[in-house]
Amino acid sequence: MTDTALSPSPAGAHDVTLWARLRTNRNWLGFWFMLPAMGFLVFFLVYPLGKGIWMSFTDIRIGRGGAFVGLENYEWLLDDRDFIGALIFTIVFTVIASAVKFAVGLYLALLLNNNLPFKALIRSVVLIPFIVPTVLSAVAFWWIFDTQFSVITWALVKVGLLPKGGVINWLGDPFLAQCSVIFANIWRGIPFVAITLLAGLQTVSPSLYEAATLDGATKWQNFRYVTYPLLTPIIAVVMTFSVLFTFTDFQLIWAMTRGGPVNATHLMATLSYQRGILGGNLGEGAAIATAMVPFLLATIMISWFGLQRRKWQQGESND
């Protein structure tokens, strides 16, 4: 056999070179397609975030430039009772509302996944709270919880739980106002959780339930060992968005109570707006907004770890 026969053919080498160039060109092509999105994110997300963090270290006010003051804004916030109250209520508001929305949404998803009469109509009705504009929902709940014209108070009087002429100051009492805004947020958020989980449930093969039932599994065991493991990645995504939407639910709070009474229903987002935009103290408002970032990052990380469970669904190890 000659040396010529052992060497690769020129045509084959040419094909390998073309394939390498094609792969390189595709990588660059993908980069150029991503460039506009990267520019959009940098301009509308990274730059405002960086600017806000920088402002939180200054004493800048509306109409006046500011000087660098280091951690002074954050040190002042630690002694601010309104900020501490807003921080605590934001966490309580987010935890309670997110937990209830998940529980009720999961129940509705499991219910709608069965063969029910008028299932399409029921799904449409479930979506109504989500498609109604936030401000319109807030106005409706403001009317429902209004002291003089409250539908709930009227119903309680009619059933005899309140004396005639009795009133409940739903939005005037700090604790009742907090309960009211939590209830309104839950009402608005349940459809998103229910419909998204329903979409996930419909990807689970019925044969898995049939096999488990033949092995003697109960409904709870079907849910525990079939539905829940397969739904875990979707639950992680749904809960991430649910927590983010709840944690930053500015519109609902501002339209219903504007943070009152006596700042009892302020979220960190609404307090930041009140101090930074309405109060003119941009540095303090930016510090409050920046203090939200660690909580939001923690939520994203929890979702990321939850998504790792996709590996075993794809036949890979969790290591």
Residues 14 and 142 in one domain: no
Give the pLDDT score at 168. Answer: 82
Residues 14 and 143 in one domain: no
Residues 158 and 31 in one domain: no
Task: Answer whether residue 57 is part of any domain.
Answer: no
Q: How far is CA 163 from CA 60, 169, 173, in A?
A: 54, 15, 19
Residues 11 and 85 in one domain: no
pTM of the model: 0.81
Instruction: Please list, in sequence order, all residues whose beta carbon lies within 8 angstroms of the beta carbon of residue 199, skipping any fewer than 6 positions away.
Output: 234
CA angle 23, 24, 25 (to 5 degrees): 90
Task: Answer whether residue 49 is part of any domain.
Answer: no
Task: Answer whether residue 243 is part of any domain.
Answer: yes
Residues 296 and 151 in one domain: yes
Residues 139 and 28 in one domain: no
Give the pLDDT score at 158. Answer: 82
Which tokens belong to 163?
A: 């004396």
Task: State which H helix or E strand residue 180 sits in.
Answer: helix 174-201
Strand, coil or helix: 68:
strand
Give the pLDDT score at 7. Answer: 47
Q: Which CATH number does the domain housing residue 94 bear?
A: 1.10.3720.10
Residues 80 and 38 in one domain: no
Task: Answer whether residue 58 is part of any domain.
Answer: no
Task: Answer whether residue 67 is part of any domain.
Answer: no
Residues 97 and 189 in one domain: yes
Residues 102 and 203 in one domain: yes
Task: Answer whether residue 55 is part of any domain.
Answer: no
Residues 20 and 133 in one domain: no
Task: Answer whether residue 164 is part of any domain.
Answer: yes
Q: Are 251 and 135 in contact (CB under 8 A)?
A: yes
Strand, coil or helix: 149:
coil
Average pLDDT estimate for 5-20? 52
Instruction: Give tens-digit pLDDT for 182-235.
Output: 999 999 999 999 999 998 998 888 888 888 888 888 888 888 888 888 888 888
The mean predicted confidence, pLDDT, of the chain is 83
Instruction: Give tens-digit pLDDT for 157-185.
Output: 888 877 877 778 888 899 999 999 999 99
Residues 286 and 147 in one domain: yes
Domain of 280, in residue numbers: 76-313
Q: Give me the number of domains the chain comprises.
A: 2
Tell whether the model's pLDDT for residue 78 goes beyond 70: yes
